[in-house]
Amino acid sequence: MCEICRSAGLSRRNFLRTALGGTAAAAFLPGFLAKPAAAAELPAGVGEPGRRTLIRGGHVMSMDPAVGDFASGDVLLEGDRIVEVGQSIDAPDAEVIDAEGRIVMPGFVDTHHHQFETSLRSYLPNGIMFADPTRPGEPNYLDDILGKFSRVYRPEDVYIAQLFGGLSQLDAGVTTVLDVSQIHHSPEHSDAVIEGMKAVGRRGVFGYFEGYGPDLQYPQDARRIRDEHFASDDQLLTMLMGGEVYLPGVDPMELWNLGKELDLMIGLHVVGSLGMQETMDSLIPHYTDKHLFIHMTGMSDAAWNRAQEVGAHVSLSVPIEMQMRHGMPPIQKALDMGMQPSLSVDVECTMTADFFTQMRGAITLQRALANQQALERGPESAPTLLSSRDVLEMATVNGAKGLKLDHKTGSLTPGKQADVILLSADALNVAPLNNVPGAVVTLMDRSNVETVMVAGQIRKWQGAMVGHDIAALTDRITASRDYLFEAADTEVPLFD
């Protein structure tokens, strides 16, 4: 038990289930709770029920063909919802957010992120997934990240990693995440994941994957978690059942059937370089439209055909797949199958979790392969080149569809919740603006993300995060990092 919990006479579980969820947490973990911005810094009443907000005069890219785009347009919100998008909206009673010189678009949707690894950022910049005899002594993901570091996490380490990693992505315009949390060593660890995600204040899907150790209650604890935290689907956080096929001693059908029992989506890593093809082929009759296949490298045509037939979703982590030896990212295969893949960041121990990197990785890989084929065989035989807008669809509406959240987010569509980002288009790295999708995909980075809204609530305002003491949180995650490296008997490799 952590010292602060012991001194307060609280069990770790009660601490996480009560203190972290309320204001009492301030007495235990300074800097973990919101540090409200001064009222004058924010537009009044934005996101409150019945209050109207007009985002006025921006370059509006709705990502909804029925709504369209506007060189200069407005987005009208009421409470947490979008009520109108148009060229010029008359709303004299609305609080106005001036968006001149800003691109207004839906927030990015990340369909696969291991947020508990935030504390291990860049520890494995040169690593691959598994041990390689030609790289003796080099750390790898399975042995070192999952096999060593993850085993020593305490619930408090899980919580700060979730909170800090989530805020970092919000800062970069990612308003929705699927957190693939392979850290469920106990119910207390699971509750810490959820409380950390709640504290961020963004839309998310809690992915209940595996854990390790004597207190493990995976997968049966899924029933308690569903009842206690996700009895309603009408909230910012929803739940997905981890259904891996590689866990020793675990029948994947047990996991898939539990997901079906609880009416949850089922997510799993599908990686050919880990020898999963035969197992995935044996499970083909059981694929459904509620399956989310992460990576999908090295799979048979039969598996692809079945996934396409039933409407399963494919999440691609292109930079990581190329970096860590998953196999060639199957972006062209998914496109050839007429599927709508989404993008995901995977692991920050190796690569950044911002979506500008993901979009550029996806578009440059697909175009490199297609361009090479055009040079070798003639342009008439080459695949169609991805456009910037195509990749933006992967990063927004496709991700929302993949998580079954497209009725709530993914586009600026009236009736959906207001997950909106404002990107600076007159910044030094973008001006002069000549093409909106192109600027977002080929020029921008997180410094261009000025304002972020989730369900109408402002989470970042004019370049600054709202409601959190980032300096205090940085101290907390650094202390957690120090503990994890000490517990794993590993030195921080500051210069390799």
| Cβ contacts of 8 within 8 Å, gap of 6 or more | 15, 27, 28
Sequence length of the chain is 496
- Mean pLDDT estimate for the chain: 92
**pLDDT at 27 (0 to 100):** 31
Over residues 29-42, the pLDDT tens digits come to 433 344 444 433 78
Q: Does 94 have pLDDT greater than 70?
A: yes
**pLDDT at 44 (0 to 100):** 83
Q: Which residue has the higher pLDDT, 295 or 7?
A: 295
Q: Does 340 have pLDDT greater than 60?
A: yes
**pLDDT at 127 (0 to 100):** 95
Mean pLDDT for the stretch of residues 270-298: 98
**pLDDT at 12 (0 to 100):** 40
Structure confidence at residue 212 as a pLDDT band (50, 70, 90): very high
Q: With pLDDT > 90 as the criterion, what percentage of the chain qualifies?
A: 90
**pLDDT at 5 (0 to 100):** 41
**pLDDT at 151 (0 to 100):** 97
Mean pLDDT for the stretch of residues 216-243: 96
Question: Rounded to the nearest 10 degrees, what angle do helices 155-171 and 187-200 cross at?
Answer: 30
Mean pLDDT for the stretch of residues 462-483: 97
**pLDDT at 496 (0 to 100):** 81
**pLDDT at 365 (0 to 100):** 98
Over residues 118-155, the pLDDT tens digits come to 999 999 999 999 999 999 999 999 999 999 999 999 99
CA distance 101 to 123: 38
Q: What is the CA radius of gyration of the chain?
A: 22
Find the helix or strand (DSSP H, E) in which 368 lies: helix 355-377
**pLDDT at 247 (0 to 100):** 95
Tokens 């807008």 belong to 389
Residue 117 and residue 347 in contact, taking contact as beta carbons nearer than 8 Å: yes
**pLDDT at 14 (0 to 100):** 45
**pLDDT at 333 (0 to 100):** 98
**pLDDT at 7 (0 to 100):** 38
Domains of the chain are: 1-29 (no CATH), 39-106+412-465 (2.30.40.10), 108-402 (3.20.20.140)
**pLDDT at 373 (0 to 100):** 97
**pLDDT at 320 (0 to 100):** 98
Residue-wise DSSP of 99-144:
-TTEEEEEPEEEEEE-GGGGGGTTSSTT--SS--TTSTT---IIII
Q: With pLDDT > 70 as the criterion, what percentage of the chain qualifies?
A: 92
**pLDDT at 67 (0 to 100):** 98
Helix (H, G, I), strand (E, B) or coil at 212: coil
Q: Does 485 have pLDDT greater than 90?
A: yes
Q: Does 255 have pLDDT greater than 50?
A: yes
Q: Does 160 have pLDDT greater than 90?
A: yes
Lowest mean pLDDT among 231-235, 237-241, 326-330: 231-235
